[in-house]
Structure 1
Amino acid sequence: MKNDPLMQSIAETGRLYRSGTLSPVEITEWTLTRIEQLNPGLNAFITVMAEPARQQAEQAERELGSGLDRGPLHGIPVALKDLIDVQGTPTTCGSRIRAQDHPTRTAPLARRLEEGGAVLVGKTNMLEFAYGVPHPDYGQTNNPHDLGRTAGGSSGGSAAAVAAGLCFAAVGTDTGGSIRIPAAYCGVAGLKPTYGLVDLTGVFPLAWSLDHAGPLARSSEDARLLLEALTGTAICWSGPIDTLKVGVLRLHAEGPEMQLEVAEVFASTCHALQTAGIKLRDVQVPDLEWADEALMNILLPEASAAHSGWLQERPSDYAPLTRIQLELGCVLPAVAYVRAQQYRRRLVQRFLAVFGDVDVLISPTVAWVAPAEDPVIAGDEGAAEARRSGPHNLTGFPALSVRAGVGAAGLPVGVQVITPPGQDALALALGSAIERLTAGGSNDSTSADW
């Protein structure tokens, strides 16, 4: 899909708007047409907001024509994961429980996008309540690179929509890897920002102390622009990349679950960084191996607390595996939750000590390329899938997945960049460098199966 206007960067599309070569109305109509054509196969959208999007595009075109410029997202089609409230539009959370829910207020993060002139084209598919499995009423989101595989959970609809050109960027949420895992599977950039950086008011919670909202886009630079709009703050890092000290998180660069093709892409990425003059060294984080258990011992009871009413009143409306996981959280001993929170405080200190020696950490995002189906979160395979992403929900530190190459079957492979808290701009800057130094930054999607 070379020279496809729907696969351009946000900055290039904005430049063409302002030169009069393209218009927000044209781009929005092409986007809605592509959604109509491809969504039956991808199942990336639950709700398409066609008429509101057309109205927003017309307004953006009028404003830009009159000299009113709201910023980089003005007139740019963007999607929202369907647990983010937009007034008058259903927020289903991918569940029968909330199928008829119509919020009366718009979440602040969505309102910021509207104020920045973004065109909100729809609400994207997700695992039920960002937790269990796809609810049968909504089904799995399929991977744009192979429709027989999953786009990942829980923000799979957002990642697939971005990868397939159904929007230029999207917002997802991440509690144990739910932005970064779909980003890796679909070959896009996905950032879990510093905990609390993006306002979660009006976003249905999974686990309050682990939840993050953040951007998915086709490049780290586009993700940066979306994050600026979501936060209303400048996200900028201007230091020299080649002076960075990069730590390779050795425990997560290896492991029995690691697929050879993922290991090869990660090794190639490390070599590319070294060739560019960046110093790499292996690092170890003490006690990191306990993160899988701690994550679940926090996530399970926090999720069950959020669902206690519906679990009693409407248990049969959940997908069976979602209900089972919610029931597990109700019987987890309180002491296990407390100990996990104590471990979490120690883990933060362990990572901060490592960041005293290196500027940034890297690891594979996931140990494998996109599978046929999403593993059960509370199972062994689910733990392995989130092993490299979940620890950074425990710490709340920024973590970015970028496409760094493809495996033997042509499926994307993600590399993860982790920085100290508040240094989201550094994560995005190194992500951009990785995209430039590897094949990961290409928007050529000709290998996709759509």
Structure 2
Amino acid sequence: MTADLHYKSITELSDLYRRKQLKPSEVTQASLDRIAKLDPRFHGYAVVLAERAMQQAKRSDDEIARGIWRGPLHGVPIGLKDLCYTTFAPTAGGTKIHATFVPSFNATIVDRLERGGAVSLGKLKMTEGAYTSHHPDDAAPLNPWNVDYWVGSSSSGSGVATSAGLCYGSIGSDTGGSIRFPSATCGLTGIKPTWGRVSRYGVFPLADSLDHVGPMCRSAADAAAMLGVIAGADPNDPTTLQAPVPNYLAQIDDGVRGLRIGIDRSYAEHGIDPQVVAGLREAERTLADLGAEIREVRLPAYEKLVGHWIPMCSVETAEAHLATYPSRKSEYGPDLAQLIEQGHAMTGVEIAAIHHERLRFSGGLAALFEDIDLLLAPTMPVPIPTLTRMGEYGADPNVLLNILRFTAPFDFSGSPTITMPMGMASDAMPLSFQLVGPHLSEHVLARAGQAYQSITDWHTKRPPIA
């Protein structure tokens, strides 16, 4: 055992297992010990499945010893966001209404992860219904970099557990930024795949046409390894894409030389905090030094679409909660209830206007990707806010819309993104950026992330508890 065991990468663990230098049971027990020690402080887990995880790990020990190899996640301890259906644990989706709900089937992604040999340590906390805030009766996860700072929503537990070394990778979901925000606030690398690339069968919806499911890890290679296991068509989810899934790890070292990376300076820099702009420019220089061709571009008009995100989300969330709202309204937290009420008040004409604006933006973005391979942008317009500041933001809907500026448009368009650390702010908290690609370009995003991380070390920075 080495001192940095909890922060080894998935690809490192996989190699050590295959060379018989570590056993999954040893790593899983160490992870469970660390969870027992640290999670009472940071609240990343909703449910810890210690006994089951050890059974899975010991089975992996035996299989690997006999030469059975299920792939890069074999024996790797991971965490599942608590909107993934599991027959072996409650799936609450951050709500009180479903606190004791045990599904009769697993989410497709859960079955795929476990068939790939992953060890499920437990279910990770999340905001209520995957919206902006945690249920008032639930202890919210705390940022391991600094507990006074925002941890992001809605995949908050996924961000905390992965950053604190309480799992080696986790599942997140992204409707308006919920893979990207907690990846940004916790110094992680997250991939939001193309809409439909990963099955949503057995995943609690927030807003079905906006929801994306993807991996949150500590490197681009790890995220690529997880994505390769969970991606692909699913007969139980007719919205999944039929395109074959490439071996993302096989192409990951191909680099960015010759890739055309666009940047809209008005979009990415105007009205943005100077520390974010400085970090983004340095990331741009790094990508250029690696051989990428930087092109200045103009993003299709996005402002109106960002303003439409809350109304669109409200309509689809209201539909998703018809069975329990308003019949059990008193059991809802105020923010989710308010969103659902807004959804019930929307008119068909208003919904049609949003749909048309979405089509205009998506079409313009697809045309833009005829001239570039990837788009470079910040993840957030400001460094990570404190909890106090986030409370102030909550009272101002215009500030929330500003935070959604770099995330919501690409949920509307269904575009894949990769989010990565790009530096440290003056308060010693991580800064992040994202690359956006055309549909089904996850292999290119993973390559670009790996290239960037091959000559920078921001993704190796750890919170003080490390």
Q: What TM-score bracket applies, with the shorter chain setting the length? A: over 0.9
2:257 — aligned with what? Answer: 242
1:100 — aligned with what? Answer: 100
The letter of the residue matching 1:179 is I
Give the deviation of 1:270 after TM superposition. Answer: 1.0
The letter of the residue matching 2:24 is P
Give the deviation of 1:349 after TM superposition. Answer: 1.3
* Equivalent residues of 1:189, 1:401 under 8 A apart: yes
* Equivalent residues of 2:420, 2:434 under 8 A apart: yes
3-state secondary structure, aligned to 2:195: coil
1:409 — aligned with what? Answer: 427
> How many Å separate the matches in 2 of 1:77 and 1:315?
37
The letter of the residue matching 1:211 is D
The letter of the residue matching 1:418 is V
> How many Å separate the matches in 2 of 1:18 and 1:296?
47
> How many Å separate the matches in 2 of 1:147 and 1:179?
19
2:61 — aligned with what? Answer: 61
> How many Å separate the matches in 1 of 2:115 and 2:255?
33
The letter of the residue matching 2:112 is R
Give the deviation of 1:344 after TM superposition. Answer: 1.1
* Equivalent residues of 1:404, 1:434 under 8 A apart: no
- CA distance 1:449–1:58, change in 2 (3 Å): closer
Q: Structure 1, residues 93-133: CA drift from partner, whole Å, max 9, x if none?
A: 11111111111111111000110110000111111000141
* Equivalent residues of 1:156, 1:182 under 8 A apart: yes
Q: Structure 1, residues 217-270: CA drift from partner, whole Å, max 9, x if none?
A: 0001000000011126334346551211110132431233x2222121111111
Q: Does 1:267 align with 2:281?
A: yes
Give the deviation of 1:149 after TM superposition. Answer: 1.4
> How many Å separate the matches in 1 of 2:155 and 2:247?
23
Instruction: Decide which moves more: 45-54 or 282-291.
Output: 282-291
2:294 — aligned with what? Answer: 280
Give the deviation of 1:14 after TM superposition. Answer: 1.2
- CA distance 1:52–1:376, change in 2 (3 Å): farther
- CA distance 1:251–1:291, change in 2 (3 Å): farther
> How many Å separate the matches in 2 of 1:249 and 1:243?
19
**Paired residues for 1:42-441 under 5 Å:** 42-231=42-231, 233-236=245-248, 237=251, 239-256=254-271, 258-373=272-387, 376=394, 379-441=397-459
Give the deviation of 1:196 after TM superposition. Answer: 0.4
The letter of the residue matching 1:75 is G
- CA distance 1:28–1:281, change in 2 (3 Å): same
- CA distance 1:382–1:389, change in 2 (3 Å): same
* Equivalent residues of 2:423, 2:458 under 8 A apart: yes
1:5 — aligned with what? Answer: 5
Give the deviation of 1:408 after TM superposition. Answer: 1.2
> How many Å separate the matches in 1 of 2:124 and 2:277?
31
The letter of the residue matching 2:284 is C
> How many Å separate the matches in 2 of 1:306 and 1:251?
37
> How many Å separate the matches in 1 of 2:183 and 2:341?
29
> How many Å separate the matches in 1 of 2:45 and 2:109?
19
TM-score, normalised relative to structure 2? 0.92
> How many Å separate the matches in 1 of 2:396 and 2:449?
30
Q: Structure 1, residues 281-315: CA drift from partner, whole Å, max 9, x if none?
A: 22112312222122223211011111123222111
3-state secondary structure, aligned to 1:261: helix
- CA distance 1:376–1:334, change in 2 (3 Å): farther
* Equivalent residues of 2:267, 2:299 under 8 A apart: no
1:41 — aligned with what? Answer: 41
The letter of the residue matching 1:282 is E
3-state secondary structure, aligned to 1:441: helix
* Equivalent residues of 2:132, 2:153 under 8 A apart: no
> How many Å separate the matches in 2 of 1:108 and 1:214?
13
* Equivalent residues of 2:6, 2:168 under 8 A apart: yes
Number of corresponding residues: 446
Structure 2 unaligned spans of 5+? 233-244
Give the deviation of 1:326 after TM superposition. Answer: 1.3
* Equivalent residues of 2:57, 2:119 under 8 A apart: yes
Give the deviation of 1:160 after TM superposition. Answer: 1.3
3-state secondary structure, aligned to 1:157: helix
3-state secondary structure, aligned to 1:53: helix
3-state secondary structure, aligned to 2:278: helix
> How many Å separate the matches in 2 of 1:421 and 1:123?
30
3-state secondary structure, aligned to 1:142: coil
> How many Å separate the matches in 2 of 1:252 and 1:122?
39
1:448 — aligned with what? Answer: 464
> How many Å separate the matches in 2 of 1:17 and 1:114?
17
3-state secondary structure, aligned to 2:104: coil
* Equivalent residues of 2:189, 2:421 under 8 A apart: yes
Give the deviation of 1:363 after TM superposition. Answer: 0.3
Instruction: Decide which moves more: 199-208 or 383-392.
Output: 383-392
> How many Å separate the matches in 1 of 2:165 and 2:262?
34
CA-atom RMSD, angstroms?
A: 1.7
Give the deviation of 1:275 after TM superposition. Answer: 2.5
